[in-house]
């Protein structure tokens, strides 16, 4: 069995002080993205939106071939 990477996406949760929240999903992320890269990009999103970063969810998709 062989594991083949297909795609990665990241969903960022951002919130404002008045409890408004938004989710931003980024598709076509590089394979093997690091926690530091995820956090750095989340900081950029927070700085341009005026919200603060609450969480980030990384979704990797793989296919197993036989």
pLDDT in tens, 19-58: 889 999 999 999 999 999 999 999 999 999 999 999 999 9
pTM metric for this prediction:
0.88
- Alpha carbon distance 40, 6 (integer Å): 23
Residue 19 has a pLDDT of: 81
φ/ψ (deg, to 5) at 45: -60, -40
Closest CA to 38 of 50, 49, 25: 25
Q: Judging by DSSP bridges, how do beta strands 52-65 and 21-26 pair with one another?
A: unpaired
Provide the CA 39 distance to its chain's centre, in angstroms. 9
- CA end-to-end distance (rounded Å), the chain: 5
């Amino acid at each position: 069995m062989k594991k083949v990477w297909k795609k990665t996406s990241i969903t960022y949760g951002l919130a404002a002080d008045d409890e408004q929240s938004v989710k931003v999903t980024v598709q076509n992320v590089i394979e093997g993205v690091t926690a530091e890269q995820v956090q750095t990009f989340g900081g950029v999103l927070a700085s341009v939106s005026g919200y603060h970063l609450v969480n980030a969810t990384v979704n990797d998709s793989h296919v197993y071939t036989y």
